[in-house]
Structure 1
Amino acid sequence: MSHQVHEFAVTVHYEDTDMAGIVYHANYLKFIERGRSDWVRAMGVDQLALRDTQGVVFVLRRIEADYRAPARFEDQLSVTTRVGQVSGVRLTLHQEVLRAGELLFSADVTLVAMTLDGHPTRLPQELRRKVH
């Protein structure tokens, strides 16, 4: 299995913060979603083509999140994505949000491949090859 870590940079904007000036908790989910999308794109996997030619999309099945420390307006963050487990229809990722190496947030994310009509299907061969 691939042990490579993908990094994606995020700048905290004013709209990402709450009244206390810290990143609103739901926005960490947006940050890691962007990190996952960038990771897939960096591997050369075209999600629109998968949808249009094979009728396959990725759906979030489960997420377990741990909030450690707050990020604030103008912070420069790094979202890391690392492959956990890969099975026929399921992909588990470990993602972290860091500020200058300090862990602020981590999540274990389970994705499943689905057909456009909502049925589980095998992960595309192209993706399985790239994450092993």
Structure 2
Amino acid sequence: MGFRVTVYYEDTDMGGIVYHANYLKYIERARSHWVRTLGIDQVALRDEGTVFAVRRVEAEFLASARLDDVLDVTTALVDASGVRVRLEQVVQRGGQALFRAQVELVAIDWRSGAVRRMPAALRALKEPRD
């Protein structure tokens, strides 16, 4: 699933290069968009006591994005189980990969922090999608 991001001044350092932590923000937005396209209402899920938490991120910085770049963030399923989902997310500019991350998500009870089963729409995912 693709998600488009434009690099604004606030995203950059003094040299006009995207500050490294902002790539994590870009992939977070893309993951939220991906979950929404699966028909999962994260507000309703939260009201029922369940939220998603990032358990692990492995990130690779490949090249720099710059002020005014238009970036495409793809999110692809690597695998899913009853309690976790692993995704590969790539930030690209014009087809060139700038940043790549493997992200593992778990569902938790936001009150206690205890792990919960993933929503059915995520547990049902078996084949990688883009």
Between the aligned partners of 2:96 and 2:120, the Cα distance in structure 1 is: 36
Which residue of 11, 18, 26 maps to 1:31? Answer: 26
Which residue of 42, 53, 60 maps to 1:59? Answer: 53
RMSD after superposition: 0.9
The count of residues paired between Structure 1 and Structure 2 equals: 125
Q: Is the 8 A contact 2:85 2:122 kept in 1?
A: no
Between the aligned partners of 1:19 and 1:51, the Cα distance in structure 2 is: 38
What one-letter code is carried by the residue in structure 1 that aligns with 2:77?
Answer: V
Show CA shifts across 1:71-94 (max 9, x none): 000000000000011112110000
**Fraction of identical pairs, as percent:** 57
5+ long unaligned stretches in structure 2: none
Between the aligned partners of 2:47 and 2:32, the Cα distance in structure 1 is: 17
Which residue of 86, 89, 112 maps to 1:92? Answer: 86
1:127 Cα shift? 2.5
Determine the structure 1 residue equivalent to 2:64. 70
Say yes or no: does 1:104 pair with 2:104.
no
Between the aligned partners of 1:24 and 1:111, the Cα distance in structure 2 is: 24
Which residue of 68, 75, 85 maps to 1:81? Answer: 75
1:20 Cα shift? 1.7
Between the aligned partners of 2:66 and 2:5, the Cα distance in structure 1 is: 12
Between the aligned partners of 2:91 and 2:121, the Cα distance in structure 1 is: 27
Which aligned segments of 4 or more residues in structure 1 are displaced greater than 4 angstroms?
Answer: none
Q: How does 1:112-127 map to 2 (within 5 A)?
A: 112-116=106-110, 117-127=112-122
More helix by share: 1
Show CA shifts across 1:43-78 (max 9, x none): 11101111113x111000000000000000000000
Determine the structure 2 residue equivalent to 1:3. none
Question: SS in structure 1 opposite 2:116?
Answer: coil
